[in-house]
Homo-oligomer: A and B are copies of this chain.
Amino acid sequence: MTQTSKNIAIIGSGLVGSLLSIYLKKKGHSVTVFDRRPDIRTIEFSGRSINLAMSNRGWKSLRVVGLEERIKKIAIPLDKRAMHVNDKPVYFQKYGKEGEAIWSISRGILNRKMIDLAEGAGVVFRFNEKVWDIDLPEAKIFTGESEKSEWKEYQYELIFGCDGAFSRVRHKMQRRSRFDYSQSFINVGYKELTIPPNEDGTHKLDKNSFHIWPRGKFMLIAMPNIDGSFTCTLFLPFEGEVSFETINTEEKAKNFFKTYFPNVRKEIENLTEDFFKNPTSAMVTMKCYPWTYWNKVALVGDSAHAIVPFYGQGMNAGFEDIHVLNTLIKAHGDDWDTIFSEYQIQRKPNADAIAELSYRNFVEMSSRTADPKFLLQKKIEKWFAVKHPNKWVPVYSRVTFSERPYVEALAIGDKQEKIMEEVMKLPNIGEIWDSIEVERKILSLL
């Protein structure tokens, strides 16, 4: 359907805001992006970012506007996990079938590139301009130096809130009655660390792997950058015996790494310096509803659904929002009432599903990976999936390498979990786990 050109404001020049601006600009709209922060192209990155793992949903959304190949040039494919267990050689777990990979990409580099591409397409960016208030029914925004200074007023026809987990746009919607909202923090924080490149610019660890050092209640991960370095993320409880609270001196930090990460320790230059220099960040699951206000305002990405990062799907889910919006725009033309209403109806259950899956992955990683019964269950699932690849697609693959709805992945995952509960009840399951009996049992329950 044809669409009338609209005057559109996007709040937030992050990944979702800049990709959405490209989509809308290509449809012929006039698009201005506001950001309270300076242009990310002019500043150093903040040292508080987990590297991104672009997977199928993200690529699909980039492909539609012809960006896939350009972005792949600044990304590195990871086709396996590299598990680092103390006193054992590294072992590798392939993600899936031939060619299935997640792509490591630096948030900063990607964001700069996206803004370049948007600007090239004709999108106007207004950096360092702080939005303090939004008139939702009138689609007006108010900006100024501070909350109490003189404000400038802008009139738009549509406003998109892409301003992240602590969205100002949502904040305004939240004050209205009957707006459901929740934010829930986990008791684990994270900190960015860096493994620099070798002197010749090559990577110090296998560059096509997602590196994990699991340690029960905490873990370290590393993802490669195109400059030969790795961005590492240390996930650690805020409080407790081994925690950000208790590791409060250089001595204690050194001992912590010596005890738990003896091999990686020598790779991370300035380890303790970075540990105390870089901020400790919190992680939140944020849910809300509705996501839209009439045919005027819509939330997209983290502003509508922020999730914990343990499934690597935050950006992918945000990009998929845009893809869904685009499909609805194509179908409904100028009928923004229907576009917005369908958008939130379609996306809300899927956002809830990936929030749940991400949270479960956190619980699994922090409490179940040391449980021998859980490890046996995972071993059986893997064994069965290899024997019957069409009958047992793991949830991870459904989320990461498919474009089917997240709700479907969650529902099938629940079904698989129920089956495995029955299987784990079999007497002597520890001995017979790879027997024909177990195989038949699973087949009968499927």
Contact = CB atoms under 8 A, between A and B. Distances in A.
Interface of A: 147-148, 166, 174-175, 177-185, 238, 282
A184 B178 CA distance: 8
A147 B148 CA distance: 8
A148 B184 CA distance: 31
A178 B282 contact: yes
Contacts of A166: 175
Contacts of A238: 178
Nearest to A166: B175
B177 A282 contact: yes
B180 A184 contact: yes
Among A147, A174, A177, A179: residue with most chain B CB under 10 A: A177
A177 B147 CA distance: 20
A290 B174 CA distance: 20
Contacts of A148: 147-148
Nearest to A287: B182
Given A147-B147, A148-B148, A183 B185 contact: no
A183 B183 contact: no
A182 B179 contact: no
A180 B178 CA distance: 19
B181 A181 contact: yes
A182 B183 contact: yes
A175 B282 CA distance: 13
Contact of A185 (B178, B184, B282): B178
Contacts of A177: 185, 282
Contacts of A282: 177-178
A169 to B, nearest CB: 16
Contact of A183 (B147, B180, B184): B180
A179 B184 CA distance: 7
A46 to B, nearest CB: 15
Contact of A184 (B147, B175, B182, B184): B182
A178 B178 CA distance: 24
Nearest to A177: B282
A48 to B, nearest CB: 12
A-B pairs, top 4 by smallest CB distance, nearest first, are A182-B182, A178-B185, A177-B282, A181-B183
Nearest to A183: B181
A174 B182 CA distance: 11
A181 B287 CA distance: 10
A252 to B, nearest CB: 22
